[in-house]
Amino acid sequence: MSSLEMPLNLWAPGLFKVLPLENQMRDPKRFPMALNIGMGIVTVLYVTLGTLGYLHFGDSIKGSITLNLPHDAWTNQLVKILYSFGVFVSFAIQFFVPAEILLPPLCARLPESWRGVCEMLLRGLLVCLTLSWAVLIPRLDLVISLVGAVSSSALALIFPPLIELVTYSDRRQVSRPMLAKNLLIASVGFIGFLTGTYVTVAELMSPSGDPGPAGEEQQALAALATVTQAFNLTDGIR
Residue 184 lies in a domain: yes
Residue 117 lies in a domain: yes
* Tally of domains within the chain: 1
CA dist list (Å): 226 to 4, 98, 128, 133, 220: 20, 17, 8, 10, 10
Over residues 67-124, the pLDDT tens digits come to: 888 878 888 888 888 888 887 877 766 777 778 788 888 888 888 888 888 888 888 8
Residue 238 lies in a domain: no
Over residues 111-154, the pLDDT tens digits come to: 888 888 888 888 888 888 887 887 787 777 777 778 878 887 88
Other CB atoms within 10 A of residue 134 CB? 22
Domain coverage including residue 189: 5-233
Residue 50 lies in a domain: yes
For residue 11, pLDDT over 70 is answered with no
C-alpha span between 145 and 167 (Å, rounded): 31
Q: Select from 155, 197, 164 the least CA-distant residue to 183.
A: 164
